[in-house]
Amino acid sequence: MVYPAEQRKTSPQLDSTVWNLPGDNKLHIHHLNDPSTAPTALLTRLHGLFNHIITEGRTYPIENAMTQEQFNGYFFTADLFVGILTDKSVHDVADDEWDTVLAGCYYVKPNYVGRSNHICNAGFIVNFHKRGLGLGSALGKSYLHYGPKLGYKGSIFNLVYQSNVASARIWDRLGFTRAGLVPKAGRLLDPQGNEYYDDAIIYYKSFE
């Protein structure tokens, strides 16, 4: 059973894993369940990537850029998984190496409270400097590995905007069910910076 207020303190440290990417590349996933153990340079890079995503206004509902402290609190609500393009531990990566090796990350946390906290949610960041390497798909596959190990029985994504074709394609391929559609759920920005309303897909997958 997973309890939202206690999860970060009680989640076991899960083993790192390696995932194949197209070509000869490998994605190494590491579990971080306490922000105090995360390298400062890593948190700085992830914070910058996330604010870039917010500024684009296409995939997350958040409108305003976050401070570093706000970002740390948001992504470390529970468990964080970091993907890097090296076989080093995240603690062995030098500060000036992060721009080269950082692939992305995702948090995993309960989507609901109390008697429904066994259904989790996740939020992903993919390094836009590394597009075309299949990172989103590999991160998604690793999520299906780690979610059950954290004690969750299933996963739900509340807001996958229909315009986010790459994300929808990943969850479709990984066997998620399109459980619903929320009309005009997002007030997004197009590439020219103009606002428009987009529907959002609700995705669900059982881990059992």
The confidence score (pLDDT) of residue 11 equals 79
pLDDT score recorded for residue 8: 43
In a domain, 89, yes or no: yes
pLDDT digits over 90-134, tens only? 999 999 999 999 999 999 999 999 999 999 999 999 999 998 899
What integer pLDDT is reported at residue 10 of this predicted model?
57
Long-range contacts at 164-168 (CB < 8 A, ≥ 24 apart): 164/58, 164/59, 166/136, 167/59, 167/124, 167/136, 168/201
The pTM score is 0.93
Average pLDDT value for residue range 76-94: 94
What CATH number did the domain enclosing 39 receive?
3.40.630.30
Specify whether the CB–CB gap between 174 and 141 falls below 8 A: yes
Residue 110 lies in a domain: yes
Contact predicate 43/68, CB 8 Å: yes
Mean pLDDT of 48-59: 97
- Residue 67 is predicted with a pLDDT of 96
CA distance 138 to 144: 10
Phi, psi dihedral angles at 181 (to 5 degrees)? -140, 130
Mean pLDDT calculated for residue range 78-101: 96
How many domains is the chain partitioned into structurally? 1
By percentage, how much of the chain surpasses pLDDT 70? 95
Is 107 part of any domain?
Answer: yes
Cα angle for residues 156, 179, 7 (degrees, 5° grid):
10
Res 78: pLDDT: 84
Per-residue exposure over 165-202, b if at least 16 CB sit within 10 Å of its own CB, e if not: eebbebbeeeebeeeeeeeebbebeeeeeeeeebebbb
150: in domain: yes
Residue 154: what residue type?
A: G
Range of the domain at 31: 7-154
Distance CA 35, CA 97 (A): 20
In this predicted structure, what is the pLDDT of residue 9?
Answer: 46
What are the pLDDT digits (tens) for 3-32? 344 444 457 889 999 999 998 899 999 999
Average pLDDT, integer, range 78-88: 95
Q: What mean pLDDT is reported for the chain?
A: 93
Percent of the chain with pLDDT over 90: 87
Question: Which strands, in side-by-side order, build the sheet including 102-110?
Answer: 17-20, 26-32, 79-84, 102-110, 119-126, 154-161, 195-206, 177-189
Q: Are the C-beta atoms of 57 and 63 separated by less than 8 Å?
A: yes
